[in-house]
Structure formats: C-alpha cells, structure tokens
Amino acid sequence: MQPDFDSQDDSGVNKYSDSPEFDALKDRIIEQLFEINGQINTINQFSSTLEKFLNNEGDNSLNVKVIDNIDKKAIQNIEKIKGLISVINEEVCKVEKIEVAELNQLQIIAKDKIIRDIRSSIKEFQNLQKRYTALIKRINEKARLQLENKHALLVEEENEATQHVGQAPVQIQNKNIVIPRESINNEEFAYQQNLIRQRDEEIINIERGITEINDIFTDLSNVIQDQGMIVDNIEANIYSTLDNTQLASNELNKAMRYQRKSSKWCLYLLMILTIMLFFMMLVILI
C-alpha cells in the first residue's frame, strides 16, 4: 500500500498537496546537473594534461599547438557550464515560485536535496575555474620566457647577418641577401604573442565568471537555509509519526497479549465448570 504523506490541519484541508510542475522542473534540473558534472570531469582531465606539460622537467619548451588546442576545448566547456548554470538558476527561480502548500512532503525534501546538489556542483566548478586560471597563468609565464629567449636569439642572428653583410660587400654585390628563417620566425613570434594575449583575456573572463557564479552560489545558500527549516519540520513530523506509530503498535501488542491471556483463563474456567457439571450429573443419577 502506497503511504500517504499528505497531512491535514484542524480544518481537514490538506496542508501538503502535489505539484506536477515541480516534478517537471526537477527532472530538467537533474538532467542539466548531470551534464554540468560531466563537463567538470572533462575540464579536470584537460587541466591534468596541461599540468603534465608544465611539470615535464626534461623539456623546457612548450608544445604551443597542443596546449592551444587543449585550452580552446577547455574554454568551450567552461562557457558551456556557465550557460547551464544560468539555465538551472532560472529553473530554480521557477521552483521557488511554487508555494510550499502545493508540494507534498517528499517533493519538499527532494527540492532541498536538488538545491544542495546544485550548490555543491557550483562550488566544485568555482574551484576548478580558480585551478584553471592559475594553470594558464603559469603557462603564459613559461611561454613568455620561452618567446623572449627565441626573440633574443632571432635578434642575435639578424645582427650577425648584418655584420656579415658589412664585412663582405664585394662578394655579395648584385645578389639578394636571404635569411631563410627570418620571416618564419617573425610569423611564429607574432603567432605565439597572440596566443599569450588570448590566454590573458581568457583569464580575465574566467575571473569575471567566478564573480558572477558566486552571486548564484550565495542565492542558493540563502535558499538552502530557508528550505532547511521546512525540511527539518517535515522530518520532525515524520519522526513524530513514526514514534506515535511505534507507540500504538506497542499498545496493540500489549492488548493482544492480554487478550490471549484472558482467552486462556476463560478456557481453563470453562473446562473446570464442565468437569464440575459432569460430576454433579453423576451424583444426581446415582
């Protein structure tokens, strides 16, 4: 038999009912929360891979293209999570507009759990954003140092080439001076500079996003505090009902034991009376 968690006040009107709208919102939030947690795991994997590049002591150079590819994917995932959190926040606002009287006790408890799960995932995402920004800052520091060294080497090669031209003007007369790697190095230098600048902008955007997400996190904390009081009251009522049920069960068991004892003594008395009646009949007949 399905238990009825609806309660009634003194007037006989249901204090808690049932809300199909809440169930629909709950299912959507759970689905989006599952997607968020999956994206968080993916970014954690990207972060671990980038850390391996940084901690590789045997190689002082950075694989620019690989790092750029991983970074782009990680940023896409971060933006996707931010979008999902915004959608979830809108769904939570809709849930909050549903009056408590429209929810049954199981729905109220489910609401509290969902909000706590959302808050936990947002907190994990905030920590992940901080970890990732710190990681990108380290990558940029190493990339700048690597780029400065390459640029210094390029300048040195250009100076040597210029000196060589000045020392042998006759030999190279009417010939074009070609330094094969100069244009490529300049292009690579500009390309890597642009990547560093892009990552700097990503850091700023992520840090701005942390502040925005923190506002949602604070709002959810306030909701949890208010919701917790309602859930505590419901749980207290449930435990009180269980206690009363247990007490009633104990009293019923006592009554049944008393009834069994009474029935047994009645049977004994009936047997005694039957025996006495039998002997009285014998005396009369004799």
Helix 182-285 vs helix 105-167: angle between axes, to the nearest 10 degrees?
160
Write down the pLDDT at residue 275: 78
Looking at the domain assignment, is residue 157 inside a domain?
A: no
Residues 18, 276: Cα–Cα separation, whole Å = 67
pTM score: 0.65
Q: Which long-range contacts (CB under 8 A, 24 or more apart) does 55-61 make?
A: 60/146, 61/146
DSSP 3-state percent helix, strand, coil across the chain (nearest 5): 85, 0, 15
Whether residues 66 and 29 share a domain: the answer is yes
Number of compact structural domains in the chain: 2
CATH code of 221's domain:
1.20.58.70
* pLDDT for residue 69: 92
The verdict on 286 and 206 lying in the same domain is no
Same domain for 213 and 274 = no
Q: Is residue 3 included in any domain, yes or no?
A: no
Which helix H or strand E contains 46, and what residues bound it?
helix 20-54
* Residue 55 and residue 131 share a domain: yes
Per-residue pLDDT of the chain (286 residues; tens, 9 = 90+): 344 444 444 444 345 567 889 999 999 999 999 999 999 999 999 999 999 888 875 556 678 888 899 999 999 999 999 999 999 999 998 988 888 888 888 888 888 899 899 989 999 999 999 999 999 999 999 888 888 777 677 667 667 767 665 555 444 444 444 444 433 467 777 888 898 899 999 999 998 888 888 888 777 767 665 555 544 554 555 555 555 566 656 666 666 676 666 676 777 777 777 777 777 777 776 6
Identify whether residues 225 and 275 lie together within a single domain.
no
Where do we find the tokens 């701005």?
A: 208
Domain holding 271, by residue range, is 253-286
Alpha-carbon distance values, 108 to 29, 31, 111, 204 (Å)? 15, 19, 5, 39
